[in-house]
Chain A
Amino acid sequence: MSLAATEARAAAPLPRLDWPFLIASVLAAAVLIALVLIDGQPAAAALIGLGFALGVVFLKAEFSFTASWRRLIVRGQADGFLGGLLLIAIAAAAIVPVARLVPGFGGAIAPLGPSLLIGAFVFGIGMQLANGCGSGTLYTVGGGSGRMIVTLAFFIAGSVIGSLHLPAFLRLGGVDPILAADYLGPWGGLAVTWASLAVAAFAAIAIARRRGASFVPSRRIVIGAVLIGLLSIGVFAAGHHPWSVTFGFTVWGAKLAALAGFDFSAAEFWQWPGPKRALGDSILSDTSSLTDLGMIFGAMATAAATAPFARNPWPPLKSLAAAAIGGLLMGWGARLGFGCNIGAFVGGIASGSLNGWVWFAAALPGCLIGIRLRPLFGLSRE
């Protein structure tokens, strides 16, 4: 081979399509769908497919709660935050009335108390250190980020630890969930939910205007919000409850811990009917695990279809430490706070449940602290 030919080969760009990872991700999703269909679970197949589509949309739209909240806090920029509110408004249009009117369907509710406040606050710190929330962790792991694999591992560990602590925090007290539809009916509940979103949107726009920052969402944000909102409705239709992410992580971690010999029979959380069944049954019987897995594979397929996959070098150790600490805090916080940006914030508000707004009010100051801590780990405040 001539020197010129060798040099030409060395200088040739990497192929845009990363076939091995593209095939692996599509094949993995197809195998899981086939397995649940063999078990006669078309709804489970739909949840994997919807998760896959969510992974595609999140990655293509680069939809991020963590970065948009950070931009709102640091610069007053409200475009991404408004995109999140649009997503919730779309999901609420189906969730509030259907959860109230159709038997077998229910909203994402949660009790209000110290556990919710502490959990959401700690989650807010963690999401800024990790640079991704529940959905963000899933689609960036799927997108080929090695750093976020570290976050996911610690997210899982933290959520298992949180599951062991949650009963004690619940004993600190609290009140039952407060749902708008319980007081105002399905359509009044929807109107109040949309009104609360409008108030939040006007407040965000006022902040942006005062600080001279942008607030008009880009086409990419609007399309992403609309598609994710519609897919959230699809997840609700298939799973009978709003989309949630972090309970799946808790189940994965508990199953691994049980495999390593940890005995959960004395753990109160794992004696409650839902968690007990989830721990004993197949992962593919748990709604949040199904969408989580689909989302990872969807993001992976999208990333591998557009660029060489997972070719970036590992980040510095400080950044990996932030990923680990952030993941641990998010996992613990998500269990105490009854979910993450998806299960508690999006799902809660889209259900007309007050816990969504309380979660937001507690997570935001946590984000502020997380943003202040970021430079310690070599991460920018913006």
Chain B
Amino acid sequence: MRLVYALVFLLGVTAVLADHLTSPSSGRPMSPEDFAGACAPCGAPCPSTQKK
């Protein structure tokens, strides 16, 4: 298990670093709730706006 764990850890950290170095990053960390119209932590719209 130790070897598998070490491999998963290395792959995961490498993936995070690669993603960060190849993607834009906003001025401050954001949550989907920061955006107008978001009605849930995932950014889903409110039922009242969906009906319109």
Which residue numbers of A lie inside 8 Å of B, CB to CB? 20-21, 24, 28, 31-32, 35-36, 39-41, 43-44, 47, 106, 108-111, 113, 144, 146, 149, 163, 166, 170-171, 173-177, 238-241, 244, 247, 250, 255-256, 269, 272-275, 277-278, 280-288, 290, 293, 300, 309-314, 335, 338-339, 343-344, 347
- Contact assessment for B42 and A24 in the assembled complex, using a CB-CB cutoff below 8 Å: no
Output the least CB separation between A26 and chain B (Å): 12
Output the least CB separation between B5 and chain A (Å): 4
**Within 8 Å CB of B24, what residues of A?**
280-282
Among B7-49, those with CB < 8 Å from A are: 8-9, 13, 15-17, 19-20, 23-48
A268 to B37, CA, bound (A): 15
- Contact assessment for A309 and B2 in the assembled complex, using a CB-CB cutoff below 8 Å: yes
How many chain B residues sit at the interface, stated as a range, is 35 or more
- Contact assessment for A174 and B41 in the assembled complex, using a CB-CB cutoff below 8 Å: no
- Contact assessment for B9 and A273 in the assembled complex, using a CB-CB cutoff below 8 Å: no
- Contact assessment for B37 and A273 in the assembled complex, using a CB-CB cutoff below 8 Å: yes
**Within 8 Å CB of B26, what residues of A?**
277, 281, 285
- Contact assessment for A39 and B35 in the assembled complex, using a CB-CB cutoff below 8 Å: no
Could you count the A-B residue pairs with CB atoms below 8 Å apart for me: how many are there? 172
21 contacts between A and B (CB under 8 A): A28-B9, A28-B13, A36-B25, A106-B33, A109-B40, A110-B44, A111-B44, A113-B47, A149-B5, A163-B42, A173-B47, A255-B19, A272-B35, A275-B42, A277-B32, A281-B25, A285-B30, A310-B5, A338-B41, A338-B44, A339-B42
- Supposing A28-B13, A170-B50, A347-B41 touch, asked if A310 and B1 sit within 8 A by C-beta, the answer is yes
A275 to B30, CA, bound (A): 11
- Contact assessment for A272 and B43 in the assembled complex, using a CB-CB cutoff below 8 Å: yes
- Contact assessment for B43 and A273 in the assembled complex, using a CB-CB cutoff below 8 Å: yes
Output the least CB separation between B25 and chain A (Å): 4
A18 to B37, CA, bound (A): 48
- Contact assessment for A286 and B31 in the assembled complex, using a CB-CB cutoff below 8 Å: yes
- Supposing A31-B17, A275-B42 touch, asked if A240 and B37 sit within 8 A by C-beta, the answer is no
**Within 8 Å CB of A283, what residues of B?**
16, 19-20, 23
Output the least CB separation between A229 and chain B (Å): 19
A103 to B31, CA, bound (A): 15
A238 to B17, CA, bound (A): 22
A360 to B24, CA, bound (A): 37
**Within 8 Å CB of B20, what residues of A?**
35, 282-284
Output the least CB separation between A141 and chain B (Å): 9
Known pairs A166-B44, A277-B26. 5 more at Cβ < 8 A? A109-B33, A110-B44, A111-B46, A176-B47, A272-B43
- Contact assessment for B50 and A41 in the assembled complex, using a CB-CB cutoff below 8 Å: no
Q: 8 closest Cβ contacts across the A-B interface?
A: A274-B32, A274-B43, A273-B35, A282-B23, A282-B25, A110-B40, A310-B5, A146-B1
Output the least CB separation between A59 and chain B (Å): 15
A28 to B5, CA, bound (A): 15
Q: Which of B15, B20, B25 has the most CB of A within 10 A?
A: B25
- Contact assessment for B44 and A272 in the assembled complex, using a CB-CB cutoff below 8 Å: yes
Output the least CB separation between A210 and chain B (Å): 36
A250 to B44, CA, bound (A): 14
- Which A residue sits closest to B26, measured CB to CB? A285
- Contact assessment for A241 and B42 in the assembled complex, using a CB-CB cutoff below 8 Å: no
- Supposing A280-B24, A290-B29 touch, asked if A241 and B44 sit within 8 A by C-beta, the answer is no
**Within 8 Å CB of A311, what residues of B?**
1-2
Output the least CB separation between A153 and chain B (Å): 9
**Within 8 Å CB of A40, what residues of B?**
27
**Within 8 Å CB of A288, what residues of B?**
31, 41
- Which A residue sits closest to B48, measured CB to CB? A176
- Contact assessment for A241 and B33 in the assembled complex, using a CB-CB cutoff below 8 Å: yes
**Within 8 Å CB of B30, what residues of A?**
274, 277-278, 281, 285-287
A44 to B39, CA, bound (A): 23
